[in-house]
Amino acid sequence: MSTITIGTAATTTLIGVVWHSNIAQADVRTINTHILDDLNVRHPQAQIGGQGGFTREGLLYVPNRGPLQIYDGDVVAYDPTTGGVILITELAAAGASWVHS
């Protein structure tokens, strides 16, 4: 598996993957199962059939907000405490503000 930890140089750790066209299905499932619906007080999983998650075709469905296009090198991450999804562009992830393994 190729999940990574990512966070700003000064704060919380997030869990994510670097997107590429041949990303492993296991990595897709790992991220999708941890993205939660932040508007529902019970915070259920927000997978594609529900409201969120990302697809191998390069679309990230942000719960209650809609789809975003993901490009090679972008990082899709989630906050392990809240299940909130984060998309970090390749350029931003390569900057000094972000550190990752």
pLDDT the model gives residue 8? 64
Domain that holds residue 45: 4-100
pLDDT the model gives residue 62? 83
pLDDT the model gives residue 91? 92
pLDDT the model gives residue 12? 61
Q: What DSSP string runs through the chain? A: ---EEEEETTS--EEEEE--TT--HHHHHHHHHH-B-SSSTT--B--TTTT-EE-TTSEEEETTTEEEE--TT-EEEE-TTT--EEEE-HHHHHSTTEEE-
pLDDT the model gives residue 21? 82
pLDDT the model gives residue 70? 92
pLDDT the model gives residue 90? 92
Q: Give pLDDT tens digits along the chain (101 positions).
A: 688 887 666 666 788 899 988 888 888 888 888 888 877 767 777 665 555 787 767 888 888 888 889 999 999 888 887 888 888 899 988 887 777 77
**Total tally of structural domains belonging to the chain:** 1
